[in-house]
Amino acid sequence: MNFDTIAYSYISQAEERVVLAKLEYERKKYNITVRLCQEAVGLALKACLRLVNIEPPKFHDVGPLLKANAEKFPEWFRQKIDVFASYSRSLRKERELSMYGDEETGTPPEMLYSDYDAQQSVKMAEEVLDYSKKLYEEKENKQ
């Protein structure tokens, strides 16, 4: 049994979302890629919070909570908190747009995102996922 099965589950789910995001990217479904990456980042960061004994909130952007609790993370992770908070905030802003589009202008989600947007989202999700896995492994090895 893993030392924190919920954190492990979040990381595993985030990993699956990144795999799916890459498939959707290949299909040129950029809005779906962005949406899946937002979910992956949210899950991975919530796993990180659990790993330092902080119950994750029920909202999507956990960046402020990461910043407020930076001292609970190891130095190598702490150095990335501002970056990860930025990723979380920017992807959070895309959550509804990537699924529903811009209802004010009548623009469907497929027309809002480009190859570049999707690539950037995947890079963010992969980086956060890598760090969450490293944090998990480090914490597990200390058990």
| pLDDT above 50 (res 103) | yes
Residue 2 pLDDT level (bands cut at 50, 70, 90): low
Find, among 123, 35, 138, the residue nearest to 84 by Cα.
123
45-76: per-residue pLDDT in tens?
Answer: 999 999 999 988 776 678 899 999 999 999 99
Nearest 5 degrees, angle CA 65-CA 121-CA 98? 90
Q: Which domains does the chain have, with CATH numbers?
A: 5-141 (1.20.120.330)
8-53: per-residue pLDDT in tens?
Answer: 999 999 999 999 999 999 999 999 999 999 999 999 999 999 999 9
